[in-house]
């Protein structure tokens, strides 16, 4: 699938927490093509900032031709995005990456959908599209967001570092506290969480797919700025690396070193 850079329109923007925003973007072809786990590159209007910001696709609506991103403001680029209003234009490229393999969670199986922090948004479209039993485990530092939107698609279990909601601790603490079991794991979040889930999946002999979070530059696999160590030899660089933007961001847990 060819990547396209287009000028799209902001349909709406909502502030979810002090620093987390939800934006719906109208772009029919991209919304029609996007798969759960893919991302888009969002360009600023500042000519001095040439590199786009990679942001996971949270939801798509093929009927209305829109896609949703939920992002945290962490610098000048995302701060600019947070000021966009309905009717503003935004330059985006996508859909990018490989997405989650839906066929790994067939009807009758149970899947863990695990999101940590800003790795939570891409799990929402996955929850909508999977046709299996779903256990949604969401990890936060303290302030919750999006958790209520998962409720129609599966049981939602929360973990917070400060114990203000759900299990006090991390997502694995929550899994064990509730005695949850699964056939397959889909996860996105910070590297320490993914590293722990890789070990947990190996111990429990569970198939596990991880969506890696990484700073990116080009977003299409040309610059090698977002490589990770892997068991396989990359055809582009001829070393044991994989390009997260191009070969991922979703990998089998056993394929990558974290």
Annotated binding-site ranges: 53-56, 70-72, 77-78, 218, 223, 226, 245
Cα 170 from chain centre: 18
| Residues annotated within a binding site for [2Fe-2S] cluster | 218, 223, 226, 245
Q: Are 215 and 237 in contact (CB under 8 A)?
A: no
Angle at CA 135, nearest 5°, toward 134 and 141?
140
Cα 54 from chain centre: 10
φ, ψ of residue 126 to 5 degrees: the values are -60, -45
Q: Are 70 and 21 in contact (CB under 8 A)?
A: yes
Measured between alpha carbons, how far is 95 from 33 in angstroms, rounded to an integer?
Answer: 7
- Please tell me what DSSP assigns to residue 49: -
Measured between alpha carbons, how far is 115 from 109 in angstroms, rounded to an integer?
Answer: 19
- Max Cα-Cα span within the chain: 52
| Residues annotated within a binding site for FAD | 53-56, 70-72, 77-78
Strand partners for 256: 230
Measured between alpha carbons, how far is 37 from 185 in angstroms, rounded to an integer?
Answer: 13
Indicate left, alpha or beta for 68 from its phi (over 0: left) and psi (-120 to 50: alpha). beta
């Amino acid at each position: 699938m060819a990547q396209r850079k287009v000028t799209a329109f902001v349909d709406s923007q909502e502030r979810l927490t002090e620093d987390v925003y939800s934006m719906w973007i109208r772009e029919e072809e991209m919304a029609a093509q996007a798969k759960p786990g893919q991302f888009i590159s969002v360009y600023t209007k500042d000519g001095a900032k040439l590199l786009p910001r990679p942001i996971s696709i949270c939801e798509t609506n093929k009927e209305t031709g829109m896609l949703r991103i939920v992002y945290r403001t962490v610098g000048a680029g995302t701060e600019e995005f947070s000021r966009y209003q309905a009717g503003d234009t935004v330059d985006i490229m996508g859909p990018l990456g490989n997405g989650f393999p839906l066929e790994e969670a067939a009807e009758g199986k149970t899947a863990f959908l695990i999101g940590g922090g800003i790795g939570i948004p891409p799990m929402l479209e996955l929850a909508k599209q999977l046709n299996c039993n779903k256990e949604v485990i969401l990890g936060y530092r303290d302030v919750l967001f999006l958790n209520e939107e998962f409720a129609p698609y599966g049981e939602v279990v929360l973990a917070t570092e400060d114990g203000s909601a759900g299990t006090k601790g991390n997502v694995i603490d929550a899994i064990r506290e509730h005695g949850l079991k699964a056939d397959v794991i889909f996860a996105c979040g910070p590297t320490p969480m993914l590293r722990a889930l890789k070990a947990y999946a190996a111990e429990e002999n569970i198939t596990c797919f991880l969506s890696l979070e990484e700073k990116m530059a080009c977003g299409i696999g040309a610059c090698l700025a977002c490589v990770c160590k892997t068991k396989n030899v990359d055809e582009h660089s001829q070393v044991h690396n994989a390009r997260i933007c191009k070969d991922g961001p979703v990998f089998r847990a056993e394929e990558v070193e974290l």
